[in-house]
Each structure stands twice: as structure tokens, then as C-alpha cells.
Structure 1
């Protein structure tokens, strides 16, 4: 079950964090993976590991905030069956402490980047008679998190786009879902703690871990496993949904 043989998957942000885990999981399940990344060096390292293990991976340098760049990149890949919108950036700040520059940056990557990829991928799926889209949102779209104003706004937009696309393309055999992780232990988290809590990284890591009722952060491969299911043929009856994968954060934190 959940094999992706003869499937070609495009994964934005597929060389780091959750995106990297999804790339590796899909390749392990026999998909041909196309990593769309702004930094091709990191992406090439991931692709080399996959190819040396008998998988099939390709790297495409692309700025998802640039529609022409996205259109040209996806056109160069040709026919594909799966799109995972995982590329994203984070920001710490409230409405009155978030600069216009930072707000615009998050909108450009987290929101417009998803739109650009949808805009380019949907005609491919329509012409092929179907396809699967998975958008990586966040619990920040569903609950109030401190100091995450711009991030929450853009991830809320990702959820809205997910529902809209799922509704608009039912007749085209195109499924569209979202996943909303809580805190996941990635290199980004380690960098965030080192930058913002020097000398207290371990203490803050434990505090953030226990903010989730399950008592720990998620692992990237756990998120990737859910992504695999939603993009597989076994999930053929699933569309227009957002899946919390949060250690009980949203429903049990009361």
C-alpha cells in the first residue's frame, strides 16, 4: 500500500525540514521526485542521496515567489501527478511589530508561492485528467499563537486556497488537501533556539516540546507519512480537508 510507482512528484521546499522528509519518503515509495528549491546546493545533496540509493530525484532552482520562474520550472518537468507545496518562511512578531518588509516577504513566499505553483500545476493536471495537491499549512492558521501574526495570516490563506481549489476542480479529478503540523523538530527549530535563547536552548526546547499535550515535538518523518497517504491512490476519496498533526495541541490544550 501507499506506493507511488510511476508517479512524478513536485515538492517545493523539498530539501529541508518537513519538505525534505516528504521528498525522501516519496522517493522510498518509488516516486520520481522533483525538488524545487531556492538553494540548489542543499537540494542536490538530498537528490544525490536518493539517486545513490536507487531512487530517482531531480533538482530545480526556483523562487516560488516569482510566477514566471515557477511556470518555466514546472513546464520543464513536463507531466507530473503530485504537487506538494511545502516551501515557506517563518517570522516572529505581532501586528504592530511586524515590518511591512517582513509582511510582504511572508506573503510572497507562503501565500503567493502557493498560488504560483497552483496556477502552473492545475492546467497540467486538467490536461492529464487528474492530479493530487497537498499544501503544508500550520496549526497557526487555526488557533491563536503568540508573536506569529504574519505567519498565521499566510497559513490561513493556504487553508482557504486549499478549500477553494478542492471545490473548483472536483470535476477534473483533482484532489486538494492540507496538513497542519504543530511544532516539528527540524534544523530550523535548533537555529531558532540558538539565535533567540543562547545558553538556554535545552530549557526552551523542553518548554516548547511540552506545549503539546503528547509531550514532545513531531518528527519530520511522521509528517511525511501523513503526506504519503494523502498523495497516494488509497486516499482517492479524500479531498477538501485540513489534517491536524499536532500531538493534541489544538483539541486537547484546554
Structure 2
């Protein structure tokens, strides 16, 4: 049971970050998630939010902050990035998603006299959640199919600027999705992200259990969506890697360390070995 629960949350995280990447206009798709813990003498034990490997072979660390970043917090993010870069031995980018109400975060910090650490900053307050929801409701009321981007935007609504109390809004949005006629794929993309909303933002145990029951999905969808996610990831560089293995199973010398690393991350994330035909 614990293994299935862990598997579900890996999938939830992948779908949520895929939504974030689409909204930010980041092109490379996600291959899988990396182990989020960082160990060092200075950090002792740190937990990154969402370190993901992209199809292009480099990593992106997504960090979420609800309060403004000061020098100490920004320096800690730099330490995460530096330690993670040493561990994975591949290029790493960092994107910071801030849900603070007023933009007060420090955006850069001097690391050397000639170089500042300045991760990409994104403020969810720049997205008007009420307008996004009204636009989606209008499409549904007029029998217009919502798009993938609509579904992804819906998936981050609680983190955007909105008038209602966040907990009340989450409740409303969870029930709303159950009642409307949209495609099964879009509905389940949103539902997967709603699981993250509840666990991240709902502190009342009884309410959390009530909403998880509202969100409940047919179990085989999880497996279907997981496989579709992997199949969509196994293209471009990755499919070329897989093809090389399929055609040359006894000649692993042709594989690069990046090829092997991509395979290992996919295997660790969703349990599928792309090298096995």
C-alpha cells in the first residue's frame, strides 16, 4: 500500500510540474523525478521540492516559497543547486515559484565578486485565478471544449491570485470538476493535481479526507496515465537511446553516460526500463 501511495504521489508531482512547465513556456518535457534529498556538511539534510530530468538531458529544480526570500533562503537554494549538480553530474537550472502576496523576495545573491546567483523567478500572483476560472466556465457553459492549456491552468488555480479564501476555493473547485462535462483526460489531469492541493494546503484532517473522497479516481486510470506519460517521454533523444539498445544489446559501449542516466531516472520514477523491448 505504501509503495502504491508513493507511486501515486510521484505521478501527481510529474503532472503538476508538467502543468507548471507548460504555463511557463518551458519546452523540454519531463523524463522523471530525481531523489529530492541533498546531503552536505553545511546543509546536513535538505529536501528539494521538485527536481526533474528533462528530455534534453539537463535537470530543473522547481522550488516553491510562500514567504519572501531573504539572503539566507536564497543562499540555501544555491547550496541545493550546487550540491545537486555535483551529485547528478549534469547541468542544472532552478526555477523559483513564489506564492507570496506582495513581491518582496530577494532575486539574486553574490557568490563571487564577479558572479551572482539569480535563479528564474515566477510569481503566481501575476496569474489572475478568478479570470482563468471564469474563462473555463464560459467555455463549458457554451459547449466549447477546454484545451490542454486550460486544464493545466486549472491545475494551479489555488496558487494564483484570487478573491476567495483558499480553503473554501479548493473545496468549490474539487466539487466543480466532478459536476462538469469535460474530457476524461482533462478531468484526471486536474484531479491528480487536486490531490496535491489537498495535501499541501488543507490542514483539517476531516476536510482533507472528505476532499480526497470527492477527488477519487478509478484505479486503472493511474496505471494508464502513468504509461502514457512515460511513452510521451520516450521520444527524441530517449527513443534514439532505446533503439540503440534494442538493435545493439551486446554493445553498450556506444551508449553515453547521459543515455544511461536518462534510462535510470525513468526506471526509478515509474518502474519501466526503456532498454527492454
TM-score of the superposed pair, with normalisation by structure 2: 0.28
